[in-house]
């Protein structure tokens, strides 16, 4: 018996309505379904509630209704288990999702019949090192961001690859993005668009106080480190928009490829550059 998990952005009425329809379709097909506890409450099905944990790693597919933010958070839960994730857009952009909510039921039938592809997307991990000790490791599909706090004071950051310092920034912060994240915050900060299949990381300063600072593209497996050289105010590390982990002067953030990937469900005919044009250029 196939088993699916369903995550819904309960704040979006369209996500809830479509989620109810998809749940009915899945149960009618004879599949077992797990619901995130919040979704189970919203749909009135507490009998299907399953807290995040090992049970989520045993499903055949995770179906997500919401926008890119909802999908990214869901990916972080199941990527270590290798679970495929199907995103259905009920948000604004939906750059990472596979289909729009209006097409969901018809397209879902194709997916349930096995007519889909799996796209592997690299993820990263950012580890905070203080006095030689690793304090925290944060996974991300899009990016890890070191940024200043609410005070309008710049932070001084030093970027190294291996033993070589390649850049020093006085800036509001720095973004380390995966190719997937190249179309997110990094793009807004002036970084390049990178095809998802490229094995690399992008380092992009945020509002640097210089006319010469540019993004740096490095190999995905290099020893990339960012040291907080000085900070007159608060500075923190966030991953995919998470709450920031506080950093101190002298702390080092080591960023590299995660030991697992995000497995995104794609419909036949999916092309990255078509989505790029449709979603980000308005044509």
pLDDT truncated to tens, each residue of the chain (283 aa)?
Answer: 899 999 999 888 888 999 999 999 999 999 999 998 988 988 899 999 998 888 889 999 999 999 999 999 999 999 999 999 999 998 777 889 888 888 888 888 899 889 999 999 999 999 999 999 999 999 999 999 999 987 768 899 999 999 999 999 999 999 999 999 999 999 999 999 999 999 999 999 999 998 888 899 999 999 999 999 987 778 999 999 999 999 999 999 999 999 999 999 999 988 888 888 887 775 5
List, as residue ranges, the binding site: 68-69, 73, 142-143, 153, 170, 172, 183-188
Fold of 123-258: Tumour Suppressor Smad4 (2.60.200)
Confirm whether 68 is a catalytic residue: yes
- Sorted by sequence, the CB contacts under 8 Å of residue 160 that are 6+ apart come out as 166, 223, 224, 225, 226, 227
Q: What is the pLDDT of residue 282?
A: 58
Q: Which residue has the tokens 């966030």?
A: 238
Domain boundaries, the chain: 3-116+267-281, 123-258
CATH architecture of 3-116+267-281: 3-Layer(aba) Sandwich (3.40)
Among residues 11, 47, 68, 131, which one is catalytic?
68
The token pair at 271 is 């092309």
Q: What is the pLDDT of residue 251?
A: 97
List, as residue ranges, the binding site for NAD(+): 68-69, 73, 142-143, 153, 170, 172, 183-188
CB 96 within 8 A of CB 87: yes
- Sorted by sequence, the CB contacts under 8 Å of residue 203 that are 6+ apart come out as 159, 167, 174, 175, 176, 215, 216, 217, 218, 224, 226
């Amino acid at each position: 018996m196939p088993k699916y998990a369903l995550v819904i952005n309960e704040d979006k009425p369209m996500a809830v309505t479509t989620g109810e329809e998809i749940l009915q379709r899945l149960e009618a097909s004879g599949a077992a379904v797990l619901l995130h506890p919040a979704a189970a409450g919203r749909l009135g099905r507490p009998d299907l509630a399953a807290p995040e944990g090992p049970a989520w790693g045993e499903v055949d597919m995770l179906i997500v209704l919401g926008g890119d933010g909802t999908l990214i958070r869901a990916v972080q839960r199941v990527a270590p288990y290798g679970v495929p994730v199907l995103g259905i857009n009920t948000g604004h952009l939906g750059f990472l999702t596979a289909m729009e909510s209006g097409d969901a039921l018809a397209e879902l039938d194709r997916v349930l019949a096995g007519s889909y592809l799996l796209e592997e997307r690299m993820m990263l991990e950012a580890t905070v090192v203080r006095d030689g000790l690793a304090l925290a490791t944060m996974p991300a599909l899009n990016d890890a961001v070191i940024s200043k706090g609410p005070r309008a004071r710049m932070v001084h950051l030093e970027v190294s690859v291996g033993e070589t310092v390649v850049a020093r920034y006085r800036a509001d912060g720095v973004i380390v993005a995966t190719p997937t994240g190249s179309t997110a915050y990094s793009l807004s900060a002036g970084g390049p668009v990178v095809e998802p299949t490229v094995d690399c990381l992008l380092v992009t300063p945020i509002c640097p106080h210089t006319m010469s600072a540019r993004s740096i593209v490095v190999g995905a497996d290099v020893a990339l480190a960012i040291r907080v050289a000085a900070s007159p105010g608060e500075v923190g590390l966030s991953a995919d928009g998470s709450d920031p982990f506080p950093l101190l002067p002298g702390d080092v953030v080591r960023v590299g490829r995660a030991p697992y990937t995000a497995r995104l469900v794609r419909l036949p005919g999916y092309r990255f550059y078509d989505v790029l044009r449709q979603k980000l250029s308005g044509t």
